[in-house]
Structure 1
Amino acid sequence: MRPGKRLSIAFVGAIAAATVLTGCGDAGSSGTEAPQQAASGEGCAPVAGEQLVALEDDKSLQNADNIIPAINREAATPQLVAALDKVSAVLDTPKLVLLNKAVDVDRKSAQVAAQEFADANGLTDGVEQGAGGRITVGAGNFTESEIIAELYKIQLTAAGYQVTVQQIGNRELYEPALEKGEIQVVPEYAATMAEFLNGKADSGAQPVSSPDVNETVTALRGLGDKVGLSFGAPAAAQTQNAFAVTRKFSEKYGVRTLSELAERCSGSATVLGGPPECQERPFCKPGLEQTYGLAVGSFSSLDGGGPLTKTGLRSGTISVGLVFSTDAAYAQG
């Protein structure tokens, strides 16, 4: 979806969880100064820097948008589901960050990045042969969906299917095609898909997703049953709203979680950046205020996890910005 030395995905994946999402070590552990304590109500002014880190959502503001294979029920044989579930079993958020980096930063094709990942993780080892036949895997029109669709193709090909990947666009286009069997498989996001199906069934329905992945997937499967869709196992990888700061900001103020951000940085100097709708969306600015008690001094209208927000962080014009949890920017450094 959404730079530095080229490193093996297999090698970096093992250490990425510690270095990508949690940011830095204890204050002073690498010769840095102790965190600066902002005066009450003063907030935390932006700190320019190249490396971005995502602050931990320690109170679970965001719902469980785990990646999950969505399958037309007629195609959902045990062998097909088992092949797709093997992708879910090895795909976590740090690995997905590195896959996105391989395409968005290192400029590999989605096919090459997926094949390197499959080889490094032994994905096709011991795949059970299915009944065969033709399978079309749909993909959204963004990097991450294209990569995962290629991973699904690799798995299903190993299971004996003749597989084509077709980029279809947004959910409003590919979900009906999945229901009709025009495509048989598509990578999805549990909470987002659950609310999409929920809204199709009843535009005024109460939300069914939550931060709990098991509850969310249970609701998703119930909704899928009504429209002829099945779902495989959810991956540990989640793509959701995340709030990023520069590593230098994190080290200066001792901020690694959203709770620490609210405790230490509420005040006039703190600038939040994101898309214009962030000011009204419950999982953006209002959620930070209500769940964490964060009070920012100002809001900068930029984009949703795009180049404007990342440039604002790196240039020191915003303190914290909305950058999605699997963005390739977290692998730079």
Structure 2
Amino acid sequence: MRTRRTTLTLAAAGVLLLAAACGSPGSGGGDDGGGTSSASAGLSTCEPVAGDQLVVLTDDKGLQNADNVIPAVNAQAATDDPDLVPLLDSVSESLDTSKLIALNKAVDIDRQTAADAAAAYIQDEGLEASDPTAGSGKDVTIGAANFSESSTLAELYAQVLRSAGYTVNVQTIGNRETYLPALQSGEITVVPEYAATLAEFLNTKVNGDGASPVASSDTTETVAALTALGQDAGLTFGAPSDAQDQNAFAVTQEFADEHDVATLSELAETCGGLILAGPPECPERPFCEPGLTDTYGMDITEFQSYDFGLIGDAVRQGKATIGLVLSSDGSLAS
């Protein structure tokens, strides 16, 4: 599993306010594994069930913010070139989380290059531009953050624009603190972004670290807040895709089938004595263990701390009932 966005998802500026606190395997205490019932919840203890396939449980109460993939564009470039954003929007309109998972699997697990995975996707989705001359004589620089999903998304944008006749350069620039000033200045033209994370990044830059969050689980509201903040930052945005890369919680498919659960609410209502696997800071993060207990009333009796890349394996091996994952991780592909 990749660790590409743990700093973006677990430490989104202005949203996750508590400092990280180290956990340790079993730091949540609780059930000793004998397990007939959960004393705190009065629910039957559901032991972990090992299995090869993970399934994300639906966040039906909106614990996580709407981190939809969205093209962020230099505002002046978008004004000067009315063909640019509609071409980027064609990527957004085609993309959902399951397709993003498949793209990440192609690159991170099947070891295709980002360019090859993007080319196959564009062909399968029929995303080649209808007018191959719309961008003739126009140069575009697309920035990518330094993790593979961002590189793949940048290649999607680049290849669609090239099919319209643009001359496109893709640059891997690093983290948001590095590439955002370049996007604002026009040194780069477009960057694939994440709605909630960027909204909170801009929010704290404008209003300070203690600013009230503007992102939520509602995509429309989050993008509206992002758009307003972008206006003063020299940014505009294309359409948000249905694809989201955000914190999510997964169980094995075998566990979900055995207990007939598909949502976090159903898990909380069905099972007690849950063992949660997560990164060391999870017990202090409002989008991690506290969110599960406060928002869902989930009965977590044991927390196990793992490096992010090992959480999924802990759940697959039956060491934990449920684990924190990224919703677009390629290993979630069925």
TM-score (structure 2 length as normaliser)? 0.84
CA contact (8 A) 1:135 1:162 kept: yes
CA contact (8 A) 1:133 1:162 kept: yes
SS of 2:192's equivalent in the other structure is: strand
Change in CA separation of 1:157 and 1:279 when aligned onto 2, cut-off 3 Å: same
Give the structure 2 partner of residue 86 of structure 1.
Answer: 90
Q: Is 1:217 the counterpart of 2:223 in the alignment?
A: yes
Question: Could you tell me how far 1:130 is from its partner in structure 2?
Answer: 3.3
State the superposition RMSD in angstroms: 1.6
Question: Could you tell me how far 1:41 is from its partner in structure 2?
Answer: 4.2
CA distance in 1, matches of 2:131, 2:319: 50
Q: Which moved more, 1:123-132 or 1:312-321?
A: 123-132
Match of 2:268, as an amino acid? A
Give the structure 2 partner of residue 280 of structure 1.
Answer: 284
CA distance in 2, matches of 1:66, 1:225: 19
Give the structure 2 partner of residue 323 of structure 1.
Answer: 325
Give the structure 2 partner of residue 74 of structure 1.
Answer: 76
Question: Could you tell me how far 1:159 is from its partner in structure 2?
Answer: 2.3
CA distance in 2, matches of 1:139, 1:184: 11
Give the structure 2 partner of residue 295 of structure 1.
Answer: 299
Question: Could you tell me how far 1:133 is from its partner in structure 2?
Answer: 2.2
CA distance in 2, matches of 1:292, 1:127: 50
Q: Which moved more, 1:212-221 or 1:126-135?
A: 126-135
CA contact (8 A) 1:245 1:319 kept: yes
Give the structure 2 partner of residue 100 of structure 1.
Answer: 104
CA contact (8 A) 1:63 1:191 kept: yes
SS of 1:323's equivalent in the other structure is: strand
Q: Is 1:126 the counterpart of 2:141 in the alignment?
A: no
Instruction: After superposition, give the CA deviation of every residue in 1:176-227 in whole Å (9 maximum; x if it has no partner).
Output: 1111222111000001100000011122211111111111111101100101
Instruction: After superposition, give the CA deviation of every residue in 1:236-267 in whole Å (9 maximum; x if it has no partner).
Output: 11111110111111122222110011112232
Q: Is 1:184 the counterpart of 2:189 in the alignment?
A: yes
Give the structure 2 partner of residue 310 of structure 1.
Answer: 312
**Aligned partner (choices 148, 157, 178) of residue 143 of structure 1:** 148
CA distance in 2, matches of 1:132, 1:192: 34
The runs of at least 4 aligned residues of structure 1 exceeding 2 Å deviation read 37-43, 130-133
CA contact (8 A) 2:129 2:160 kept: no
SS of 1:115's equivalent in the other structure is: helix
Q: Is 1:116 the counterpart of 2:120 in the alignment?
A: yes
CA distance in 1, matches of 2:261, 2:137: 52
CA distance in 2, matches of 1:107, 1:127: 32
Change in CA separation of 1:84 and 1:38 when aligned onto 2, cut-off 3 Å: farther
CA contact (8 A) 1:43 1:297 kept: no
CA distance in 2, matches of 1:331, 1:238: 15
Instruction: After superposition, give the CA deviation of every residue in 1:111-139 in whole Å (9 maximum; x if it has no partner).
Output: 00000000011101415713642211111
Q: Can you give the 5+ residue segments of structure 1 that lack an aligned partner in the other structure?
A: 3-36
Give the structure 1 partner of residue 255 of structure 2.
Answer: 249
Q: Is 1:170 the counterpart of 2:207 in the alignment?
A: no
CA contact (8 A) 2:276 2:320 kept: yes
What are the residue-to-residue correspondences of 1:7-26 with 2, within 5 Å? none
Q: Is 1:200 the counterpart of 2:205 in the alignment?
A: yes
CA distance in 2, matches of 1:237, 1:311: 24
Q: How many residues align?
A: 294
SS of 2:119's equivalent in the other structure is: helix
